[in-house]
Structure 1
Amino acid sequence: MTQTDFQTPLRVHDKEKIPRFMARAMLALVLTVLALVTLARLNDMPLIATPPPGEIVISRDIVLSGDMAGSATVRRPDGTLIADLTPEEGGFISGVYRVVLHERGKHDVALGTPLTLLQRDTGRLEIHDPSTGWRADLMGFGADNASAFARLLAQ
């Protein structure tokens, strides 16, 4: 009997999956960006991608509470109810509440202290936690999410 070999010979691929010049170009890009960022931070260059400053037009202290389902309750510091929101209405506000909980946990701050909701003359909305120094420009989360907090200022 003759022995037959059914194994196919291994094909040698002489083409690289990522061409060498492309890998070198990516490495050069990463090193260039790293050098530019290092140079900017060491020379204390001003941050130019920050929101434009403006005067505070409206300021309101609020106390948030929420749950993982997305419902949220917003009160004044004296306990007066401003809004009791369902998960459909308060999902973003409840998400901000969870971020505030996380920040306060990191700084070991009491949970019931108020946040400050600000509207500037530039039209931008911000939320600020004076107890931790955390702040967020709400315009960066989209118009619908910012309008959820804008309605709280109007009430």
Structure 2
Amino acid sequence: MAQTDNIHATDRTGHDKELVPRVLVFAVCTFVLIVLALVTWSRLSGQPVTYTPPTGTITHERTFNLSGDMSGSAIVTDLDGTLIADLNPKEGGFISGVWRVIQRERTKHRVALEGPLTLVRYDNGRIAIHDPSTGWSADLMGFGIDNAKAFARLLAQ
């Protein structure tokens, strides 16, 4: 009888070793515990929240109505209906995006979808938008300087 080679046999000598070194597991667990301890200490000691944008004194404020559509165009009117800006999709993309967020927030809070918004500029140069009907607000500098400038132009008009 002829001897056949077992071509499907595998070398199992390499499988006895650890897949993840114990030192690495220990280091990761230690890191997680240190982070957990720091977060717990921060919350329990009453440390102030440091990731909020700095506030200042309001230097400019404008209340207006905003409407937009899914194409990116937006229409901004004064409370009396005077047109402030009629923006095409290229100019009003970010403003229309904010309008969609406001619509979602108003739907969540079950308030009227139409209503005034307030745009404010602080003495430190930051710009924020507020929705009095839901309490929602956003610091627009967090979206980049170009997007903040889109709303800053509305304050200037």
CA distance in 2 between partners of 1:51 and 1:111 (Å): 28
From 122, 126, 143, give the equivalent of 2:128. Answer: 126
Which position in structure 2 is the counterpart of 1:7?
8
Compared CA separation, residues 72 and 30, structure 1 to 2 (3 A): farther
CA distance in 1 between partners of 2:135 and 2:108 (Å): 12
Does 55-64 or 26-35 show the bigger shift? 26-35
CA distance in 2 between partners of 1:94 and 1:27 (Å): 45
Larger gyration radius, structure 1 or structure 2? 2
State the secondary structure of the residue aligned to 1:110: coil
Compared CA separation, residues 19 and 51, structure 1 to 2 (3 A): same
Task: List aligned pairs for 1:27-42, cutoff 5 A.
Answer: 27-42=29-44
Question: What's the RMSD between the two structures over aligned residues?
Answer: 1.9
Q: Percent identity?
A: 59
Unaligned runs of 5+ in 2: none
Compared CA separation, residues 107 and 22, structure 1 to 2 (3 A): same
* Structure 2 counterpart of 1:99, one-letter code: V
- Residues 80-128 of structure 1: CA distance to partner in whole angstroms, max 9, x if unpaired? 2211212211111111112111211221111111111000011110111
Displacement of 1:40: 2.1
Task: List aligned pairs for 1:1-155, cutoff 5 A.
Answer: 2=2, 3-11=4-12, 12-13=14-15, 14-16=17-19, 18-155=20-157
- TM-score of the pair, normalised by structure 2: 0.86
Does 88-97 or 139-148 show the bigger shift? 88-97
Compared CA separation, residues 23 and 63, structure 1 to 2 (3 A): farther
CA distance in 2 between partners of 1:126 and 1:55 (Å): 12
Displacement of 1:35: 2.5
- Residues 52-107 of structure 1: CA distance to partner in whole angstroms, max 9, x if unpaired? 22110100012222222222221222222211212211111111112111211221
Unaligned runs of 5+ in 1: none
Structure 1 residue ranges, 4+ long, deviating more than 4 angstroms after superposition:
none
- TM-score of the pair, normalised by structure 1: 0.87
